[in-house]
Amino acid sequence: MSDLPGIVVTGASGRMGQMLMRTISDSPRARLIGALERPGHDWIGQDVGVAMGGAELGIKVTDDPLEAFASAQAVIDFTAPAATVEFATITAQARCVHVIGTTGLSDSDIKKLDAAARHAVIVRAGNMSLGVNLLTQLTKRVAAALDEDFDIEVIEAHHNQKVDAPSGTALMLGEAAAEGRGVSLDNVSDRGRDGITGKRERGHIGFSAIRGGDIVGEHDVLFAAPGERIVLRHLATDRGIFARGALKAALWGIGRKPGAYDMLDVLGLNEN
């Protein structure tokens, strides 16, 4: 029996679930000990390796989070808001690290996660890649250096199965730009322009979402002024970047004191 930290993946059959399980299985620093899917899913009861079309891994997919999380050191969760909020209570009871990649969370969901983080380590980010987290720092610095003559727009593109907009990443970038400007994003955010919208308001931060094909994730932060434009861009071409970040977060979180952390904490990029 290995003493490597045991990790459970939720949303096992999903795009990220499968990528996470491959990443953990290939890692010399962790072992996959559980795979969770929603009740009624046709993977329940199957060996997860076989369900993914490969060799047996000796792990049966379950729909019981209590049982799955009981012996885990960390749970990596890229599912849906309602599921993530439910799992946060159970990971807090089980005292295991909860790494959350799920996006589309409401303010009230986030309050519930913060309550759970009083008893457990939660690491949450709308994007777990090193590149995007660096880009948030750059965005904050550029926004702080420029005045409101520069209109800020966040433009994102994702695959046609994505259910939430703006993306979690776009919101992280918008927050970073607002922070750089010393304003609250809630007060300056422009989302979903359509029809006779009136002129763009000075100081606002706009969001646009493109959905199509199999785009993994593309983000531009545009600073547009009379006579010049700056574009900060991140292009994701492989979901492995998110899975590697999530595994790093899980290992980082083990043994840490309870609290709500993000990828800047994990990567040592937090300037505060």
Ligand X SMILES: O=C(O)C1=N[C@H](C(=O)O)CCC1
Ligand Y SMILES: NC(=O)c1ccc[n+]([C@@H]2O[C@H](COP(=O)([O-])OP(=O)(O)OC[C@H]3O[C@@H](n4cnc5c(N)ncnc54)[C@H](O)[C@@H]3O)[C@@H](O)[C@H]2O)c1
Residue 235 φ/ψ, nearest 5 degrees: -120, 120
125 is in an annotated binding site: yes
Give the binding range for ligand X (CB under 6 A) out of 40-48, 161-169, 175-183, 246-254: 161-169
Residue 255's alpha-carbon distances to 27, 95, 169, 252, 259, in angstroms, are 20, 10, 28, 8, 12
Cβ neighbours around 235 below 10 Å, total: 12
74 is in an annotated binding site: no
Residues in 121-140 at the binding interface with ligand X, rule: CB under 6 A: 126-127
In the residue annotation, 111 being an active-site residue is answered as: no
Amino acid in position 213: G
Task: State both tokens at 117.
Answer: 């983080």
User: Which one of ligand X, ligand Y, none is in contact with 14 (Cβ closer than 5 to 8 A by kind)?
Assistant: ligand Y
16 is in an annotated binding site: yes
Q: Which is catalytic among the residues 98, 140, 158, 219?
A: 158
Cβ neighbours for 248, distance < 8 A, ≥ 6 positions apart: 128, 266, 267
27 is in an annotated binding site: no
**How does DSSP classify residue 60?**
B
Per CB under 6 A, 162 contacts ligand X: yes
Give the binding range for ligand X (CB under 6 A) out of 5-13, 110-118, 162-170, 255-263: 162-170
Cβ neighbours for 194, distance < 8 A, ≥ 6 positions apart: none
Give the binding range for ligand X (CB under 6 A) out of 48-56, 165-173, 204-212, 248-256: 165-173
Rounded Cα distance, 127 and 134, in Å: 11
The closest of 222, 129, 121, 138 to 176, measured between CA atoms, is 138
In the residue annotation, 162 being an active-site residue is answered as: yes
Residues engaged in binding ligand Y (CB under 6 A): 10-11, 13-17, 36-38, 41, 78-80, 83, 101-104, 125-128, 168, 242
Q: Least Å distance between CB 164 and ligand Y?
A: 6
Rounded Cα distance, 47 and 13, in Å: 12
Q: Least Å distance between CB 3 and ligand Y?
A: 27
Residues in 49-108 at the binding interface with ligand X, rule: CB under 6 A: 103
Q: Contact, 55 vs 48, CB < 8 A?
A: no
Q: Least Å distance between CB 79 and ligand X?
A: 11
- Sort residue 211 into left (φ over 0), alpha (ψ -120 to 50) or beta: beta
13 is in an annotated binding site: yes
Per CB under 6 A, 180 contacts ligand X: no
Residue 102 φ/ψ, nearest 5 degrees: -55, 135
Q: Which residues are annotated as a binding site?
A: 11-16, 37-38, 101-103, 125-128, 159, 168-169
Q: Would you name the residues annotated as active-site residues?
A: 158, 162
Residues annotated in a binding site for NAD(+): 11-16, 37, 101-103, 125-128
- Binding positions for (S)-2,3,4,5-tetrahydrodipicolinate: 159, 168-169
